[in-house]
Structure 1
Amino acid sequence: MERSIADQLETLHPDAFGWALHCCAGNHARAEDVLQNAYLKLAREQAWHDGRSAFKTWWFGVIRLTAHEEFRRLRYRESLLGRLLLQISGQEHDPRPSPSRKMEMDERAAELRRCLAQLPARQAEVLHLVFYQDLTLTEAAEVMRVSIGSVRQHYERGKARLRSLLQPDTTHESQPR
Structure 2
Amino acid sequence: MYATVAQLAHRLQLDVDDLTEDDTAALTELLEDAGQVIDDEVGQPLLRSTDTVTLDGSGAASLILPRWPVHAVDEVTLIAVDGTETALAHREGYLWSTSGVLTRLGGCWPAHDRAVRVLYTPGYEEAELGSRVRRICLRLAVAGRRNPGGADSEDIADTRVRWHTPGMELTTAEKATLAKYASRP
Settle same-fold status: TM greater than 0.5: no
Per the shorter chain, which TM-score range? under 0.3
- Larger RCO (alpha carbons 8 Å, 6+ apart): 2
TM-score (norm 1): 0.23
Instruction: Write 1 or 2 for the structure with the bigger share of helix.
Output: 1
